[in-house]
Structure 1
Amino acid sequence: MPELPEVETVRRGLARVTPGHRLEGGQVLLDRAIAHPAQVATFLSGITGSTLSDWHRRGKYLLGQLTRPDGGAGGYLGVHLRMTGQLLWLDPETPVQAHCRVRLWLSDNRELRYVDQRTFGRLWWVPPDTAPDTIMTGLRLLGPEPFDDQFSVAYLRQRLARSRRPIKNALLDQALVAGLGNIYADEALFLSGLRPLTPSDRIGPQRLERLHSAILKVLTTSIESGGTTFSDYRDIYGINGNYGGVAWVYDRDGQPCRVCETPIRRLKLAGRSAHYCPQCQR
């Protein structure tokens, strides 16, 4: 599933190319790709005629800000890519892919195409004067963004102090920190020297500071690399992310640690994979 760096890379790409483009219509090839409104025709009529003015990200959600022809608010175009979703910026004449689910036609002969092999992703139209989290209810469950001031060492200490769950599981909880997922939780734990199974309430102050710093470091590095592509993720131009080639532990089961050459191990935690170095992480 695309995580914060991948979604942020897509957001930045969209924010560069779409502002000022008017939505002139579209085609929904898979009805269940539209989460709201219930009727596909209402979704298309709601966004048609609006201009995309900016893009925002909250956790793994994207929000395209819409402006009506009279300059008033047009609501939002919401997107969650889930496991295999892609938003591609294309010429409308580009052949339609097998897994294309939604086509949005924009001014100046451009197209924003939503492609999703596993079909778990969703799009929303949030009408004007409606809070996005009343429609996209998953937004209500999100904790602070990693780069916000609220996500501090003190915040982590307070949230983890009474939790016995493994720290890897805690980091995947979107109510603790928004946008962090399997890849970057593994990477942050490696950089902070913590094993995935370490009970959250057993992490001392110094190691907690290292963990906080490591989370910000791996996310920053991956954003600078355009995210990670192990299977389906692409940016808006269809280009792979480059972080995977320098990952410390994620998806490197059995390969030598980049620091000590000990083989990386993989274990299952709550149905998810966790990768770690048994020498560097204690």
Structure 2
Amino acid sequence: MPELPDLQAFSYNLDKKLAGKTLKHVAVINAKKLNVSHQELQGTLEGQKLDKVYREGKELYLKFSKGDILGLHLMLHGKLFLFEEKNGNKYPIIELHFTDGSGLALTDFQGIANPTLNPDDKEAPDALAKDGGVDYLTARLQKTKTNIKTVLLDQKIIRGIGNAYADEILWHAGISPMSISNKIPEHKIKELVRSIHTVLTDAEKAILKANPDIINGEVRDFMHIHNSKKTHSPKGEKIIVKEGTRKTYYTEEQELYS
């Protein structure tokens, strides 16, 4: 599943390519979870100019000239494709056709990628937002005995972080993923917040450097810890892989708070 840095890179490139174009037609092919009727989606968006494309949590937001927003959640296997005149990509969910003949398609072979018209505001802060900083995380972690990795993955607590980047962030901060959240001292929470910003922003830069035009897929080769091709951390410590519903990559150099 694309995570925050991937979606940041996608939104950057899509905004460059599509902002300022006028939407001619919305084709809804297989949007099972669309929150409005096909007719309402078309009636609301068609004829509007696309003002900008940006990221919110794990979604891409397309904001139009009248203030309406089309949210796109790629889920596990959703992909985005630009096309000219006609979409030739398989498994389309929705297609946006612009007046200049260009278009954007959201596809998913599982059929569960999810477009939403005017998504509800989310209570949880974005991982890169100011309101998700030290004060927020300190107060939030004091309330839970759940392990810290589970907290970072909970989109109702902080939005945008997924499995791979949770491992990278926790290694960078020197905190074991099995640490109990309310046992982590305040000075380490400050390090955690710094690591969230450093790891995620550096990852976006690495992704765009590796693939300047990326709008789908995942670039992971640069990752230090959550990387099946690596056996040791940059500090020389063996990488341990804990199996489960999600694999967790960590090292013994990360401190356990319990």
Give the TM-score taking structure 1 as reference length: 0.81
Pair 1:112-2:110 in alignment: no
CA apart distance, 1:161: 1.4
Give the TM-score taking structure 2 as reference length: 0.88
Which range moves more in the overlay, 5-14 or 164-173? Answer: 5-14
SS of the equivalent of 2:224 reads coil
**Paired residue for 2:236?**
260
**Paired residue for 1:47?**
45
SS of the equivalent of 1:278 reads coil
Change beyond 3 A, Cα 1:241–1:83 = closer
**Paired residue for 1:136?**
none
**Paired residue for 2:59?**
61
CA apart distance, 1:184: 1.1
Which range moves more in the overlay, 253-262 or 13-22? Answer: 253-262
Task: Letter of the 1:83 partner, please give it.
Answer: L
CA apart distance, 1:106: 0.7
Which structure 1 residue ranges, 5 or more long, are not aligned? 68-72, 127-131, 134-138
Change beyond 3 A, Cα 1:125–1:175 = closer
**Paired residue for 1:36?**
35
Pair 1:172-2:162 in alignment: no
Q: In 2, Cα distance between the equivalents of 1:47 and 1:82?
A: 23
Write out aligned runs for 1:187-266 (5 A): 187-226=168-207, 235-236=214-215, 240-242=217-219, 244-252=220-228, 255-262=231-238, 264-266=239-241
Give the ranges of 4+ consecutive aligned residues of structure 1 lying more than 4 Å apart after TM superposition.
none
Q: Is the 2:93–2:113 contact (alpha carbons within 8 Å) kept by the matching residues of 1?
A: no
Which range moves more in the overlay, 52-61 or 40-49? Answer: 40-49
Q: For 2:247, which of 253, 263, 273 is the aligned residue?
A: 273
Change beyond 3 A, Cα 1:125–1:164 = closer
Task: Letter of the 2:50 partner, please give it.
Answer: L
Q: In 2, Cα distance between the equivalents of 1:162 and 1:258?
A: 33
CA apart distance, 1:168: 0.5
Identity %: 25
Pair 1:15-2:15 in alignment: yes
Aligned residues: 254
Change beyond 3 A, Cα 1:249–1:36 = same
Over the residues paired in the alignment, what is the CA RMSD in angstroms?
2.5
Which structure 2 residue ranges, 5 or more long, are not aligned? none
Q: In 2, Cα distance between the equivalents of 1:11 and 1:80?
A: 12
CA apart distance, 1:190: 0.5
Q: In 1, Cα distance between the equivalents of 2:218 and 2:202?
A: 12
Q: Deviations over 1:224-254 (max 9, x none)?
A: 1237x9xxxx933x5x554x11211114387
Change beyond 3 A, Cα 1:158–1:280 = closer
Q: In 2, Cα distance between the equivalents of 1:113 and 1:273?
A: 31
Q: In 1, Cα distance between the equivalents of 2:156 and 2:98?
A: 36
CA apart distance, 1:86: 1.8
SS of the equivalent of 1:102 reads strand
Task: Letter of the 1:12 partner, please give it.
Answer: Y
Q: In 2, Cα distance between the equivalents of 1:225 and 1:217?
A: 12
**Paired residue for 1:182?**
163
